[in-house]
Structure 1
Amino acid sequence: MLRKARTSDMRIIQEMLNHYASQGKLLPRSLSELYTHLRDTFVWVDEETGQIVGCCSLHIVWEDLAEVRSLAVREDQQKRGIGRLLVEACLQEAEQLEISRVLVLTYEIAFFEHMGFSQVDKNIFPQKIWADCLRCPKFPKCDETALLLELKPRRDPANSYAH
């Protein structure tokens, strides 16, 4: 079951993210950072156990750019489409927010290419570099691959100011 994260989920999410961070697959996230970006985060809850088995966030970088980040699915739950559903939820939210480009920095290149992302030079995102990358322990020797998906945001006629 897909839903937005709650404050009570943050310690579980941090544990999952830091598990992969210890393997060098993700960046570690502090509880403070997770709480600050709570509204960015989706979780997947196993309906039988009620446990969170996956998470993913959509972080707004700039007017026309968002980033999918902190995608993690528990190892015993992988290969079931949960990661894809979490990313799709982020992409749908990006469309609703009328964001036209979604970036991901990742080691899982094939997964994101399968979802329609294309490899790009990460240096074309100065907003991302100045906002986040400067604080990253891997900066300036980032070994992740940047991929981009161009979206066609849906314009909601109910929100237009046409006369």
Structure 2
Amino acid sequence: MTGFYLRKSRIQDVKAIHALLMECAKGELLLPRSFNQLYSHLRDFYVLASHEGGEVKGCCALSICWEGLAEIRSLVVHPDLQRQGWGRKLVEACLSEAVTLGVYKVFTLTYQRDFFAKIGFEEVTKEKLPQKVWADCIHCPKFPECDEIAMVMEM
């Protein structure tokens, strides 16, 4: 896993984050994000960057939803670096930040049940999540027929 490291995102990373998310969105594995959304939520993101040149090869965001509740979203690792532990490290960075902020309940909406279960998330019915978390759903092409799995971790 040498040659890469995690860090908070920077303004120069937005185009690379956007490209990663849009590529993944083509396969309907996550929601696409506009440049406006990315600039507005840049501080939510961690990136996987190369030591040489700083090229962004992965990202993950921690989005605060409400008092005591946050969401892990926009997790992407470039296919060349998958299955090397980088996705887990990105999620763990977000979880660590959640604890630092005093947020001890984190959820995700995902198709990757096994991945998140290995980290400690548990599957729940979507009805267990507050209405507020569904704000982005109206923009989803699958709305209202969502087939993502809701998972929660309480720390």
State TM-score, norm by structure 2.
0.93
Q: Which runs of 5+ in 2 are unaligned?
A: none
Structure 2 SS opposite 1:114: helix
Residues 36-67 of structure 1, C-alpha deviations (whole Å, 9 max, x = no match): 00000000112245311110000011101100
Q: Which residue of 1 aligns with 2:36?
A: 32
Q: Which residue of 2 aligns with 1:109?
A: 113
Q: Which residue of 1 aligns with 2:145?
A: 141
Tell me if 1:53 matches 2:57.
yes
State the identity as a percent. 49
Q: Which runs of 5+ in 1 are unaligned?
A: 152-163
Amino acid at match of 2:33: R
Distance 1:10 1:67 in 2: 20
Q: Would you say how many aligned residue pairs link Structure 1 and Structure 2? A: 150
| Residues 40, 21 of structure 1: alpha-carbon distance in 2 compared, 3 angstrom cutoff | same
Structure 1 SS opposite 2:146: coil
1:92-103 matches, cutoff 5 A: 92-103=96-107
Amino acid at match of 1:111: F
| Residues 72, 60 of structure 1: alpha-carbon distance in 2 compared, 3 angstrom cutoff | same
Amino acid at match of 1:127: K
Distance 1:127 1:63 in 2: 11
* Higher mean displacement: 133-142 or 34-43: 133-142
Offset at 1:76? 0.5
Amino acid at match of 2:132: Q
Offset at 1:100? 1.8
Q: Which residue of 1 aligns with 2:26?
A: 22
State TM-score, norm by structure 1.
0.89
Distance 2:139 2:98 in 1: 25
Distance 1:62 1:127 in 2: 8
Residues 97-131 of structure 1, C-alpha deviations (whole Å, 9 max, x = no match): 111210000001100000000000112221102x2
Q: Which residue of 2 aligns with 1:128?
A: 133
